[in-house]
Structure 1
Amino acid sequence: MLFSSKAASGRPGGVPDLYRAVWRWHFYAGLLVLPFLILLAVTGALYAFHGELDALIHHDKLRVAVQDAPRQLPQQLVAAALRAEPGTAFRYTPPSRPDASAEIAIRNATGERRVVYADPYSGRVLGAIAEKGTAMGIVRRIHSLAFFGPVANGVIEIAAGWSILLVGTGLYLWWPRPAREKGGVVTLRGTPRRRIFWRDLHAVTGAFVGLALVFLAATGMPWSGVWGSAVNQWANGHDFGYPAGLRVALPMSDEHLGHSAPTSWSLEQARLPRSTHPAAEPIGLDAAVAEFDRLGLAPGYAVSLPAGGSGVYSGSVYPSDLAQQRVVHLDQYSGQPLLDMGYADYGPAGRALEWGINVHLGQEWGLANQLGLVIVCLGIVVLCVSGAVMWWKRRPRGALGVPPLPRERRVLRGVVAILVLGGIVFPLVGLSLIVMLAADRMLVRLGDRARMREPA
């Protein structure tokens, strides 16, 4: 059976009621998020080095021999890509360095998006990969569960929200108390054969990586489907989606920047301006790339091609240096910049969120940021594994091992009230809390019935 009187007696009777209540909900939160935290930690540690790993794995497509010769023009490279992969080109990425290939994103007749890689010196097509289909692109989609649709993405949002609550309850349980036995605060007791060792390993590791885990969960939330979308709309304004001060008197399309080009989180909802001289001759991709170079966009920028007669050329770049983040829209007929915006133009909330995202991706402080993320991710794995082992060693035979109820049920209600506040901030977490409250109530009833059936 899942619940028994033994399961409720896993701690000495002298444990304070508040400790029991917090421990019970810490257990539930861990039960919910543990497998997802391991997934996020492993994939996050890999993705911290996504540039290096992709360059290594896809070296035949991403790297070329540097030649003492002029590069092919962008339009020539696009034409070569379309001969290899027929369809409609919608994005061109110039080589970011002398030994890098050019990338041409193409939508074929079936609607599939593929990225063709071409040698910028010879124009030779090096191969093609499905959009977001590089090794690290796949890792990133696993990290967010994007492979499995919006419902799975919602599960990740729930796990991230509960992770924050998990750290809060865990820090309360870890906090040193005068009456507590010595050890287990920053030191480990016993050996791996004993449960106390795993308890201390779990507590000490949590104390060191807990705040980093909260930071990663909070900075990962902007990508979530419910909370992230709502905050995105709030942060970007209520009109065109552009940051404050960038709403100008320009004809605007219904297309959003996030649908047409790689962009920062803060500008996903930004609407694109329209080109306004359809009777004129378009300037073409070669002239647009030359203009973006003249305007000084940082290397690595991508150019989204105009969609229809009123579309624009959109150059966007999001390098590790936040100050160089920039989006420029060019009129496809005159070549004039319609909007030119960067990190400095974001509002305070947008700048703060973008900084957090940059750290989350391991881009803010170079190698130190990457290695720091890997260390934190390893700590999260240790946290999860030690928690699972600790629970397994404590769990009574044939029972789930739910921590005991407080003697005063109103204490439990107080802890739940605090959790409800977190559920209000994160709506999906609130829904999951309702489900867990119902499950907890069911377990309590099962336990009461089991005790009533026990012989006196």
Structure 2
Amino acid sequence: MFKKNHKLNQWLWKWHFIAGLISLPIVILLAITGGIYLFKDSYEAPRQAHIKTVKVEGEPISYQEQWQLAKPNLHKPPFTMVIPTEANQATAFTSGMFSHKKSVFINPYKGEITGNINPKDTDMHKVRKLHGELLLGKFGTKIVELVASWLFVLIITGIYVFWPAKKEGIKGFFKIRFKQGKRILFRDLHTVFGFWISILLLMTLAGGMPWTDVFGDSFKWVQKVTNTGFPKTWNARSLKSHAEGKPISLDDMVTLAKSMDLKGEVSLGLPKDKIGVYSIYNTTFDLGAQKRFHFDQYSGEQLVHHNWEDVGILMRGRMWFMAFHQGQFGLWNWVLMICVAVLLTFISVAALVSYLKRKPDGKWGTPKVPAKFKVGYGVMALIVLLGVVFPLFGFSVLAIIVVELLKKKRLRSE
């Protein structure tokens, strides 16, 4: 146990309080929508089964013929085909990426389209948009990023403010006072549970930040200048086929892909034009097992082969935390993220209840800081560091400083 600086504790408590009060509604919204989105697969599976599942009857038509059926219904590259693993599985052909993604499903036995799936038209896509941008587009994304940036500060200041006094010992980390009134009870519920999930919250935030605008773009820039992102040929953008002879059939490429025995869902990237290439890659949450192969569409020559080890360290870390954020490392990760969502909602509501119980009538009840207190260089350095790492947080701190200076100037002139 260490001895806390009482004045610093009061100063950090003040800013923990202010930041928490401002961001509380959005934090609760993010926790609830994030928890709901974790049920995406189980929610969508029965609603899409009639499109993705077919009746096995007779012999299937070739993949090349299926591709010709799907092509008129797809809008723009990149084009991919998910290699079926079950006989009753419709063949999925996909175009575009992210919100522009569209999938067409083919019944290989009847040679007809079973349906289309556009992620942006689904209920869960709306939940994701609410979670990531408050349904306000780029402006909403920046609000979420600002709140997420302040959440790092809330967690750090919360840990310091909560840290028990030396005389309390280890018991202080578990102490919940049930018999001293609702204000104390809800305060303890907020602080104790908040402390014990703080590391998980930081990991969850780290997984969400790459999707943001300002931090996300800055992170991508760092990856680029340090060469720690994906290899340039990871997505085959700079690779070309030599247009000589007859292209290899899609069926031959499917046979090759199946022979590789890759882990997880295996996809086949289709040439977007006469000099495009074939790509075989797998999607699995055992990130270390991910592989990518790119082939000349005429000769079948392997142009590039990438393992997960070829990916830069920043990108590997980014992808790990993003997968962790979405609960994609198996049942344990999914359950853990559900618990984080529930507990974050709980400690946020507990904080609000505790505040309302202690709030004086007609006042905000902002914690007081000793007039002579001056922030130390260590704290200032930490604030500057956080402001550089999270630019929107940095700009908001500058705005607060300007407002505080103007307020003091006004008080002196009165």
TM range (shorter): 0.7 to 0.9
> Which structure 2 residues correspond to residues 79-90 of structure 1 after superposition, within 5 A?
79-82=68-71, 85=73, 87=75, 90=79
| Structure 2: runs of 5 or more not aligned | none
Q: Distance in 1 between matches of 2:340 and 2:359?
A: 28
**Displacement of 1:198:** 1.4
**Displacement of 1:435:** 2.2
Matched, 1:197 2:162: no
When residues 121 and 86 of structure 1 are mapped into structure 2, their CA distance, relative to the original with a 3 A threshold, is same
> Which structure 2 residues correspond to residues 151-166 of structure 1 after superposition, within 5 A?
151-166=139-154
**Displacement of 1:378:** 0.7
Matched, 1:427 2:367: no
1:117 equivalent in structure 2: 105
Equivalent residues of 2:282, 2:290 under 8 A apart: yes
Q: Distance in 2 between matches of 1:322 and 1:376?
A: 23
Matched, 1:391 2:333: no
Equivalent residues of 1:423, 1:430 under 8 A apart: yes
Q: Distance in 2 between matches of 1:439 and 1:58?
A: 53
1:163 partner SS: helix
**Displacement of 1:277:** 1.4
Matched, 1:207 2:195: yes
Equivalent residues of 1:283, 1:335 under 8 A apart: yes
From 32, 37, 43, the counterpart of 1:53: 43
Q: Distance in 2 between matches of 1:28 and 1:240?
A: 37
2:220 equivalent in structure 1: 232
Q: Distance in 1 between matches of 2:333 and 2:228?
A: 34
From 311, 317, 323, the counterpart of 1:358: 323
**Displacement of 1:168:** 0.6
1:277 equivalent in structure 2: 242
Moved more, 192-201 or 177-186: 177-186
**Displacement of 1:188:** 2.4
1:33 equivalent in structure 2: 23
Q: Distance in 2 between matches of 1:137 and 1:363?
A: 17
Normalising by structure 2, report the TM-score.
0.84
Matched, 1:63 2:57: no
1:378 equivalent in structure 2: 342
2:261 equivalent in structure 1: 296
Equivalent residues of 1:330, 1:337 under 8 A apart: yes
Percent of aligned pairs sharing the same letter: 30
When residues 408 and 70 of structure 1 are mapped into structure 2, their CA distance, relative to the original with a 3 A threshold, is farther
Residue type of the partner of 1:128? N
Deviations 1:343-385 (A, max 9, x none): 1322344333333333222222x11111111111111111111
When residues 180 and 415 of structure 1 are mapped into structure 2, their CA distance, relative to the original with a 3 A threshold, is farther
Q: Distance in 2 between matches of 1:234 and 1:418?
A: 20
Equivalent residues of 1:278, 1:309 under 8 A apart: yes
Equivalent residues of 1:283, 1:333 under 8 A apart: yes
When residues 82 and 234 of structure 1 are mapped into structure 2, their CA distance, relative to the original with a 3 A threshold, is same
**Displacement of 1:53:** 2.7
Deviations 1:275-297 (A, max 9, x none): 23124332243333333223334
Normalising by structure 1, report the TM-score.
0.77
1:58 partner SS: helix
**Displacement of 1:424:** 1.3
From 124, 132, 145, the counterpart of 1:136: 124
1:438 equivalent in structure 2: 402
Equivalent residues of 1:324, 1:343 under 8 A apart: yes
Q: Distance in 2 between matches of 1:236 and 1:391?
A: 45
**Displacement of 1:105:** 2.5
When residues 329 and 436 of structure 1 are mapped into structure 2, their CA distance, relative to the original with a 3 A threshold, is farther
Residue type of the partner of 1:276? S
1:318 equivalent in structure 2: 283
Equivalent residues of 1:37, 1:159 under 8 A apart: yes
Moved more, 380-389 or 332-341: 332-341
2:81 equivalent in structure 1: 92
Equivalent residues of 1:288, 1:330 under 8 A apart: no
**Displacement of 1:216:** 0.8
Q: Distance in 2 between matches of 1:409 and 1:444?
A: 16
Deviations 1:121-165 (A, max 9, x none): 433422222244444344333332285333322332222222111
Q: Distance in 2 between matches of 1:20 and 1:242?
A: 45
**Displacement of 1:46:** 2.9
2:115 equivalent in structure 1: 127
Moved more, 373-382 or 157-166: 157-166
Q: Distance in 2 between matches of 1:327 and 1:182?
A: 50
From 133, 137, 140, the counterpart of 1:149: 137
When residues 422 and 88 of structure 1 are mapped into structure 2, their CA distance, relative to the original with a 3 A threshold, is closer
Q: Distance in 2 between matches of 1:227 and 1:112?
A: 23
2:148 partner SS: helix
Equivalent residues of 1:233, 1:241 under 8 A apart: no
Residue type of the partner of 2:26? F
2:294 equivalent in structure 1: 329
The structure in which a higher percent of residues are helix is 2
Q: Distance in 2 between matches of 1:331 and 1:126?
A: 31
| Structure 1: runs of 5 or more not aligned | 1-14, 253-266
Q: Distance in 2 between matches of 1:196 and 1:444?
A: 34
Q: Distance in 1 between matches of 2:360 and 2:286?
A: 53
Deviations 1:200-253 (A, max 9, x none): 11111111111110111112222222323333343356679644xxx7xxxx7x
Moved more, 433-442 or 311-320: 433-442
2:207 equivalent in structure 1: 219
Q: Distance in 2 between matches of 1:96 and 1:163?
A: 43
Equivalent residues of 1:236, 1:350 under 8 A apart: no
Equivalent residues of 1:331, 1:338 under 8 A apart: yes
